[in-house]
A and B are shown apart, each in its own frame.
Chain A
Amino acid sequence: MGLFREMQLSLFIKNAVANVWHCLTTQFNLIWDYLLPAAGAPDWQWILWTLGTFLVIGGILFWLLQIVPNRYRKTLVAVVTFLAGLIYAVEYFVPADPKTGTNFLTPFADKLQEATLVIYAFALGLGVYSLIRFHGRGLIKLRPGWQNNLAFFIAFLAMMGAGFWQDATGSRISLNVYDLLFQSTVASLGATMFSTIGFYIVSAAYRAFRIRSAEATLMLIAAFIVMVGQVPIGAYLTSGIPASGWISVFKLENLSYWILNQPNMAAWRAMAFGIEVGALAMALRTWLSLERGSFFDREL
């Protein structure tokens, strides 16, 4: 009987929460739809709407921070941090609908993620400002290497101009210019830089594998087995060993596989465990604003 009552109560609470939630989301969606530009509205309306929304919300937040007395500002920041983090924490712990894999907080967590992206997009302007300030001063004062500063401005303006031109007209020639700058220049330069890793690995491996101690010798042997086991010659060298039975473990490809997936994986996972527990502790400190002293002033 007690269990039946508990089930009834649980069902009642669940239904009540679901009803309140439904009302709230319906009203919110109605207001949201009313404020949004109409479907199929031109791009400039969307851009204006986004900028306007950001300015209004930013203005309200700025005003709120201004009217709050100095001694409460840190508390306000801590409260906002806590509430924002709480959405993610509760979203993770509240069981999800097995069909959709989401719960009632998932859409909010997604929206919060999008808001973070918007803030990031605005901060990009600060990065560009840093570049222009640094290279601009170098160019104006004709510091040694000013040619590099000039190259930055030429590349910056050319890439930006090509991007806008391609976006505005979509013509074949604009696409070709964009491809020439991006695919044939930027992407190729990135690939070139990436390929230099091969040379760096050789010089680093030479130092690492020099036999100076028992540990270095052990590492050299393990590395040799792993490397040879990954290439066809490794399989060829031990092809005489039967493929079945206990002796098959001495085939180079099997030894290589064993080193990678047993001792190496064990060490890898041990480090990963330590790192994740450390990340949990740091996330907790950040969420509860216990760590402010590490970056700026005293702890809260």
Chain B
Amino acid sequence: MNHANWTIGILEGILVFLILYKIFSARRGKRLYIRRVPGLNAIDEAVGRATEMGRPMLFSPGISGLGLPTLQALSILKYITGIAAKYRTRIIVPTADSVVYTIAEEIMKDTYTAHGVPEQFNPEDIRFLSDDQFAYASGVVGILNRERVASSFLFGNFFAESLILAETGHQVGAMQVAGTPQVTQIPFFITAADYTIIGDEFYAAGAYLSREPTLLGSLIGQDYAKAILILIMGAGIITSTLMAINPAWANWLDWLKYFRVGQ
């Protein structure tokens, strides 16, 4: 198991402080601006499309267990379920993890009840398919084809099955919005989905959709944290270049060694 050294500890402390500071200042009522994210705006459009066509939607929270990406996916599910409850549109949620299945079921039940339509909740629309990657993929492909879904949302951790799901969604004519923190799968989603949430936009989705002060503040804190990391990276590039020009300078210039964990 890796352990932090002092430099990493101090740096993480600063990042954590910035994020928490912004969260609490947002909670005190400070107005915050976040830029427009087209992929997240498209969620409302996709729900509207399914409503107009009278066909169901599909939401896949990925194939991982309950981790941060899945939690983020579930917060997006809550938002989509809220709109689906408003427009009385059916949403099918196939899961690949039994814990995620139970939490997704609770979230949907809670959201339908909160919107005053508890009767719209159908337990059969939240399904545990399989925890095997390709068995899950074939299950979702089957649902996409049989139910002729109008809109498909793919948010969470996806791996080799990402293209199978997104390309099948494209073939059945579904409007697709996708997002994953798995960098290697983003190109597949960009190719096959109509809108793709890229990089840290995935973790910004909760703030963007709910506009809750805590999440907005956290998002701004993240930007400050990134600014600090960019400064460190810039200084690192300059230092490395100088050390490459004259290796003898490494004796007094190599401050990057303090960031190397385990050395």
Picked from A93, A207, A281, the residue with its CB within 8 Å of the CB of B3 is: A93
Q: How far does the alpha carbon of A120 sit from the alpha carbon of B101 in the complex, in Å?
A: 12
Residues of chain A lying within 8 A (CB to CB) of residue B203: 275, 278-279, 281-282
Inter-chain residue pair count (beta carbon < 8 A): 188
Residues of chain B lying within 8 A (CB to CB) of residue A137: 124
In this complex, how many residues of chain B approach chain A with their Cβ under 8 Å: the count is 75
Interface of A is mostly: helix
Q: How far does the alpha carbon of A204 sit from the alpha carbon of B107 in the complex, in Å?
A: 34
Residues of chain B lying within 8 A (CB to CB) of residue A127: 95, 97-98, 101, 128, 131
Q: How far does the alpha carbon of A286 sit from the alpha carbon of B134 in the complex, in Å?
A: 30
Evaluate contact between A279 and B101: CB separation under 8 angstroms. Answer: no
Given contacts A294-B206, A295-B74, contact A207 B15 (CB under 8 A): no
- Chain B, residue nearest A110 (CB): B1
Q: How far does the alpha carbon of A293 sit from the alpha carbon of B203 in the complex, in Å?
A: 15
Evaluate contact between B160 and A294: CB separation under 8 angstroms. Answer: no
- Chain A, residue nearest B135 (CB): A190
Instruction: Name B51-90 residues within 8 Å CB distance of A.
Output: 65, 68-69, 71-72, 74-75, 78
Residues of chain B lying within 8 A (CB to CB) of residue A43: none
Q: Which of A18-26, A53-61, A73-81, A95-103 sits within the interface?
A: A95-103
In this complex, how many residues of chain A approach chain B with their Cβ under 8 Å: the count is 65
Evaluate contact between B3 and A94: CB separation under 8 angstroms. Answer: yes
B242 lies within 8 A of chain A by Cβ: no
Min CB gap A277→B, angstroms: 5
Instruction: Name A183-218 residues within 8 Å CB distance of B.
Output: 186, 189-190, 193-194, 196-197, 200-201, 203-205, 207-208
Min CB gap A154→B, angstroms: 16
B199 lies within 8 A of chain A by Cβ: yes
Instruction: Pull 22 A–B residue pairs with CB atoms less than 8 Å apart, ordered by A.
Output: A92-B4, A94-B3, A96-B1, A101-B1, A120-B99, A130-B126, A137-B124, A189-B134, A190-B134, A193-B138, A197-B160, A200-B163, A278-B200, A278-B204, A279-B69, A281-B222, A281-B225, A291-B71, A293-B210, A294-B78, A294-B206, A296-B106
